[in-house]
Amino acid sequence: MHINIKKCSLQLKEKSKQILVKRMKKACSTRWLSFDKSVAALYQEYENVLHTLQALDKSGCTTAHGLLNRLKEGKFVGVLFILKDVLPVLSNLSKALQGGSVAFSQTVPLINATKSSLQKLLETNSPVQKFLAALDSHTNICKDLKMSTVQQQQLHRLQEQYITSVVANVEARFASSSPLLSALKIFDPLAVPESSELGFNVYGNRDISTLGQHFYQGDDYVSQKTRSSKLLAEWYQMKFNKPNIPTEIKTGKSSTTSTQWFLCHLMKA
């Protein structure tokens, strides 16, 4: 069989091979994206991996024997289901923060949305429920898997501890930077109200104060006070002299965000 598959593989074009052949991803414990891809790959190819390990086990490979026993454990597969639902939420946050577009006004809401999505997974008990449903129907699951009531309860507790820990990690990671990131939203010119609108005079003042405290924190008290007052005055003048924003930026038809365009405009001024 292996020889036939090899002959067939040789006849395929390279592009076709890339479509048919799946490669397991290497996980990195400190990178959400790589961890997500490795879990997704194993989840999608679980049965194929089992068959491969079984074949290697029969040939006397001790490493394959150990991996096979681990992959056939109910707890292992249950954790795989939990990670498969949790990690994409973290990956989406990671991709958004690493993207080339600057949208400071969306950063804090994005972080809050991530925490909300994780909390929803916990409240609905979705990952473990999916695993138990798949276990009952033997869908994409090894038929030898068995989970006792005690083991199911342990998996529920593990899910709660893991998701709670991840939410706490996200909160801790962005706790100190959230006020600063939120303050940077004032650099979106589309959010600045018209001078005739109520609230125009105070719009952005608190955010400018936050930025001043951050960037001038190394100054002595007098210098910090002077520079912060000057920054506030410059911000007030900037609000009145809001530049003409190109139509494609206003309508969102450009790949450049309004914040990016505005910051470039400031650098050229």
Which of the pair, 245 or 116, is modelled with greater confidence? 116
Q: Which two tokens stand for residue 248?
A: 């494609």
In the predicted structure, residue 269 carries a pLDDT above the cut 70: no
DSSP category for residue 191: G
Give the mean model confidence (pLDDT) for residues 98-106. Answer: 67
Single-letter amino acid, residue 21:
V
> pLDDT tens digits for 50-80?
889 989 999 989 998 999 888 888 899 999 9
Residue 100: φ, ψ to 5°: -80, -15
- 158-187 mean pLDDT: 87
Which one-letter DSSP state was computed for residue 29? T
Tell me the C-alpha distance between 216 and 222, whole Å.
Answer: 11
Specify whether the CB–CB gap between 87 and 35 falls below 8 A.
yes
What's phi and psi for 25, nearest 5 deg? Answer: -90, 145
Q: Which of 66, 55, 67, 62 is nearest to 24 (CA)?
A: 67
pTM of the model: 0.69
In sequence order, what are the residues at sequence separation of 6 or more whose Cβ sits closer than 8 angstroms to the Cβ of residue 219?
227
DSSP 43-107: HHTHHHHHHHHHHHHHTT-HHHHHHHHHHT-HHHHHHHHHHHHHHHHHHHHHHHHHSSS--HHHH
Q: Give burial (CB, 10 Å; 0-12/13-18/19+) of 211.
A: buried
Sign (positive or negative) of CA dihedral 112, 113, 115, 119: positive
Compute CA distances 129 → 46, 54, 79, 149, 191, whole Å: 19, 28, 12, 13, 43
Please state the domain extents for the chain. Answer: 30-178, 186-268
Q: What distance separates the 2 farthest-apart alpha carbons in the chain?
A: 81
Q: What is the pLDDT of residues 23-37, one digit of tens each?
A: 555 545 555 567 888
Band of residue 13 on the pLDDT scale cut at 50, 70, 90 = very low
Question: What pLDDT, on a 0 to 100 scale, did the predictor assign at position 17?
Answer: 43
At 4 the pLDDT is: 41
Mean pLDDT of all residues in 173-197 = 83
Average pLDDT, the chain: 81
- Axis-axis angle for helices 205-215, 221-240 (nearest 10): 140
